[in-house]
Amino acid sequence: MPTTEETHARLAEIPNLTVSRNTPLSRHTRFGIGGPAAIFAETGSAEAFIAAMTAARASGIPTMVIGGGTNLIVSDHGFGGIVLRYRAESLHACGDDGLDNQGLDNQGLDNQGLDNHGLDNHGLNNQVIADAGAVLQDLVDFTVARGLKGLETLAGIPGSVGAAIYGNAGAYGHSISERVVNVRFYDGAAVRVFNNEECRFRYRESVFKQHKEWIVFSTQLLLEPAPAEVLRKISGEILTVRNQKFPVTMKCAGSIFKNLILNELPAAAAAEVPASAVREGKVPAAWFLEQVGAKGMQRGDIHVAGYHANLIYNAGAGSAAELCALIQELKARVRDRFGLELEEEVQYVG
């Protein structure tokens, strides 16, 4: 089995791949928490990423892939393996001239059997292709500016496009899955394209969440024409509200826990929920957390916001141990009081 040094040297030989040793993962998470990765490698090239993944797996060293790090809680001890990050971030509006100039560069995919990169050609004027590493807010701004309706309610949701696909991000009754035509991804052996149905989207879920070894490269989205000024007003108002709750400088992951579907709750818990708390068939996790006194709780520098029971943030030098302990205490309080298990939106590393 190759040593860490040998694997680092092999990765360093891959063109368009940036490789470093003992890189603090706190630099790559919104919580600003996390110890070092033994090897950290990132690229905006699909070809380089595939080569890096192949080399990493051949080494036998534990390997994981991250995106923007918005929803990650990394151990204070870090990750004693290889962390790969795919950061391609191009956004392209399709047009009548086809897809040849969409900046996809074939990236080693010529033999994958994907005509036009596996992208459907209906309604090109209303379609956008987004790389997984693009910031979700940049995609929202891109579509709004072009008078394309469908993503404006996602304004202010932190993270990347790839993460949004992975967790079927959404807000205000809409999710990104409503606009997905297909998703291009790497399954560890080949680049594939799934249509919307094959992605098996549901509330905050997708097939990619069930197959964490699959890596999203890009998505094709179908939107609707609408006045840009109307879309800009909608997204602007939502962004203002969201920034008041989750300031961009705040070290947090947005909401920690998923909201709950009312008709899936235990009968006793559902009976306690007032109608005023139900939104489109869902009960905010914050409602249950409020009932157990979550607001204002803290462990060291890890705090629950005094104005939002489902917002946990790092007030300074908080640790992953403190963060995890607070999350577990909140889950235990809700479990004891309501007999239900809150499910985190965040992912744990190490």
| Model confidence pLDDT, tens digit, residues 97-152 | 444 333 333 333 333 333 344 444 456 789 999 999 999 999 999 999 999 999 99
- Which of the following is catalytic: 10, 146, 200, 204? 204
CATH number of 247-349: 3.90.78.10
Alpha-carbon span 143 to 126, nearest angstrom: 9
Percentage of the chain beyond pLDDT 90 is 83
Q: Is 89 a catalytic residue?
A: no
What per-residue confidence (pLDDT) applies to 184?
98
Give the tokens for residue 324.
């995890």
Domain ranges of the chain: 4-86, 91-230, 247-349
Q: Is 242 a catalytic residue?
A: no
Q: What are phi and psi of 80, to 5 degrees?
A: -80, 40
Alpha-carbon span 320 to 124, nearest angstrom: 45
- Per-residue pLDDT 10s for the chain (350 aa) are 788 999 999 999 999 999 999 999 999 999 999 999 999 999 999 999 999 999 999 999 999 999 889 889 999 999 999 999 999 999 999 864 444 333 333 333 333 333 344 444 456 789 999 999 999 999 999 999 999 999 999 999 988 999 999 999 999 989 999 999 999 999 999 999 999 999 999 988 999 999 989 999 999 999 999 999 999 999 999 999 999 888 888 999 989 999 999 999 999 999 999 999 999 899 999 999 999 999 999 999 999 999 999 999 999 999 999 999 999 999 999 999 999 999 999 999 99
3 state SS of 187 = coil
Identify the sign of the CA torsion 74, 78, 79, 82. positive
Q: Which residue, 130, 331, 158, is CA-closest to 246?
A: 158
- Which of the following is catalytic: 255, 299, 319, 322? 255
Evaluate whether 35 touches 75 at the Cβ level (below 8 Å): yes
CATH number of 91-230: 3.30.465.10
Amino acid identity at 131: D
Q: What is the pTM of this model?
A: 0.85
* Domain covering 4-86, topology: 3.30.43
Secondary structure element (H or E) that encloses residue 130, with its range: strand 127-131
Q: Is 255 a catalytic residue?
A: yes
Mean pLDDT of the chain: 91
Q: Which residue, 133, 44, 143, is CA-closest to 92?
A: 143
